[in-house]
Amino acid sequence: MEENINEELNYIKYLLGYKKGIVLSEQQTPVTTNTTTVVKTGVDLKKTVKIDFPAGYHGTGGKNLQITAKEGSNAGMTVDVGSQLTEAIKNFKTLDPNTTIYATISAGESQIPNSDYETGKDMKTGGLSKLRMLTIKNYLTSQFPEQIKSGKLIVVEKEPSIGKTPWVSQVFKLGDLTTTEGKKLYQELASNKSWVSGLKKGEDGTYTYTCGKTSYYGCNMSYTYCKESDCKDMKDKYTAEQFIKLKLSTTPAQTMGGGGSPEQEEDFDCAAGAKIGVHFYRDGEHQCNFATYEVYVNGKRLTRDDKTDRFTGKYALLNNGGNGPDPKSNDVGGTRMNYFTVSPEIAKEIILGGATNFKFTIKCVRPDIDNSNTAGYILGTDSQHGTGCHAGVGTIEIFNSDGDKIENIQSYTTPTNKDTSTEVPEVAFCKSSV
C-alpha cells in the first residue's frame, strides 16, 4: 500500500486541478467570522468570536498573524488573524487592569485528516486545533501584560472536540462520471490500486467511492469532486464541526462540573443562559385576553424570568386587561415581553441526555379557565377562540447565551387550540447570530 508513494504523489499533480498534498480539512475556505454583540453592565463584558485561519496553517511560527497560505485549498489567500483578535479584545483593553478577564479558547475538527503547511508535517487528530489555540493564547498574553503580572488574565484551553461525521468508511456519491471532469476522476482513480479499491458502480450506472484507511488521496479526490453537488450535505456537516472560538468575559465561564465529553462541554457553554422570548410588539392591535402559553425546551418546562404575575412565571402571558392574568392588566393592547432562560441545570440535563439541538415547544393553555375558582378568573369561552388561544398573537425569538438573536419564528406558528403545541424548528446549541 506504500510501495508506489512517489508515483502516487506524481499522479496528484495532474489530477483535475487538484494540487499535490492538498488539505481538505479545517476551514477550506475561511468561514465568515461571526462576532456576537458585546453586552456591558458596568464593567461586565462578554464577547464570543470565531477566528478564521487558512487551511493547514496555525501561526505559531512567527509574530506576524497576517497569514498568507502558500499551499492547500487556500493557496494565495491572506487571512489576517491578528486583526480578528484585535477586534475581539478592544473593549477589554479599556478595562481597569485590576479587572479579571476570563478567556476560554475552544476548537473543533472534523475527522478529515490534517497537514501542517508551516512545518510540512502531518498532524494527529486535534493537533492543528491545539496549535491554533496556542497562537491565540500567546496573543492574549502579549496584549494584557499587566493582567498577566497580577494573575488577572485567566486563560482556559479546552480539549478540541472531534466531529462525529465519519471520514473513513464515508461513501461519496459521484454520479455517472460521464462529464469531462468525471471521466478524468475515473481515470485517475482507476490508475492506482490503492485508490480504485473504493470505487463501485451501481446497477443504475452511478458510482460511489468508499473511503478507506489506506486510500487518503482517493478519498480526497472523490470528496473534492462531489462536495459542491451530491456531497454538499456532507460538506455542511464537516464545516460545522470545524471552528476556533474565543470567549472573553469578566465573569467565570460555566462548566457542567464533569460527566460530559469535550463536545458536550462546548454545547453546554453555548446552551446555558440561552433564552427564548414570546412577545407582542404591536401596541394597540391585540384586543384579546386569551393568549397564554407554556414554554418547554427539549421536554423540560421553563419558567419565565419575570415572576411578578400571580402565576409566578409559569406562562408566557400575552393577555390584555379585564380577565387577563397579566401584571399590566389595564394596558389593553400593549406590548408584552416574556423571556425564559435555559438554566445551567436544565442545559446539563438535556445535553447529558444526548441532545445536540434546542427543541423549543410552545403550548396553548388556558389557566383562566382551568383555574377559574382559585385564580379568580371568569369561567367561560371567548366568542372568537372558544377554549383555545388567540392565534397569531406572539412573536417567538431565540437568543444565544451572549444575548444575540439566533432565530426568529413569526407569530403565525403560535398554537391556537387548547392543549396543542407548536414545535419551533430545531436550533443548534452553538448557532451564531443571524
DSSP states along 106-122: EEEE-SS-EEETTTTEE
Cβ within 8 Å of residue 308, ≥6 positions away: 327
Residue 178 has a CB neighbour count (10 Å cut-off) of 10
With residue 141 as reference, give the H or E element that holds it: helix 127-143
The pLDDT mean for the chain works out to 78
The pLDDT of residue 384 is 45
Cβ within 8 Å of residue 142, ≥6 positions away: none
Mean pLDDT, residues 43-57: 85
pLDDT over 70 at 301, yes or no: yes
**Between 434 and 146, residue with greater pLDDT:** 146
DSSP letter for 379, please.
P
The pLDDT of residue 5 is 35
Mean pLDDT, residues 199-224: 93
pLDDT digits (tens, 9 = 90+) for 240-279: 899 999 999 888 877 888 788 888 888 888 899 899 988 8
Q: Does CATH number 3.30.1330.60 belong to domain 21-165+239-267?
A: yes
The pLDDT of residue 253 is 77
Domain boundaries for CATH 3.30.1330.60 within the chain: 21-165+239-267
Beta carbons of 103 and 140 less than 8 angstroms apart = yes
pLDDT-based confidence at residue 393 (cuts at 50, 70, 90): low
pLDDT over 50 at 433, yes or no: no
Q: The whole model's pTM is what?
A: 0.68
pLDDT over 90 at 74, yes or no: no
Residue 124 has a CB neighbour count (10 Å cut-off) of 10
pLDDT over 90 at 206, yes or no: yes
Beta carbons of 242 and 126 less than 8 angstroms apart = no
The pLDDT of residue 62 is 67
| Residue 109 three-state SS | strand
Written as nine digits, the cell of 400 is 444565544
Residue 73 has a CB neighbour count (10 Å cut-off) of 19
d(CA 316, CA 364): 10
pLDDT over 60 at 371, yes or no: no
Mean pLDDT, residues 22-32: 37
Mean pLDDT, residues 110-121: 89
With residue 316 as reference, give the H or E element that holds it: strand 316-317
| Residue 276 three-state SS | strand
The pLDDT of residue 283 is 59
